[in-house]
């Protein structure tokens, strides 16, 4: 689990650097098409690579049943509201 956390941090840093490079290319080098492509690929990488890694890291070992609205959980919420 520690390696996944480290890998997620490294990927997040690389994606942040890629965003900065994309904006640098757009603003300083005045190549808007290339800058937009870099930023677009970075957004895709963050959605399809970084987000799943982060979700696996945060949801590991937790029960999904505790976070869903089932009949049991709704009844518990109603009981707590009455008190």
pLDDT of the chain along its 83 residues, tens only?
A: 689 899 999 999 999 999 999 999 999 999 999 999 999 999 999 999 999 999 999 888 888 777 788 888 888 888 888 76
Which DSSP state fits 61?
Answer: T
Judge contact between 33 and 75, C-beta under 8 A.
Answer: no
Which pLDDT belongs to residue 1?
66
pLDDT at 39: 96
| DSSP at 28 | T
């Amino acid at each position: 689990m520690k390696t996944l956390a480290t890998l997620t941090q490294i990927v997040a840093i690389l994606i942040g650097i890629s965003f900065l490079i994309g904006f640098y290319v757009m603003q300083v080098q005045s190549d808007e098409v290339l800058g937009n492509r870099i930023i677009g690929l970075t957004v895709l990488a963050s959605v399809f690579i970084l987000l799943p890694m982060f979700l696996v890291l945060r949801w590991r070992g937790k029960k999904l049943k505790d976070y869903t609205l089932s009949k049991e959980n709704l009844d518990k919420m109603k009981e707590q509201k009455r008190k």
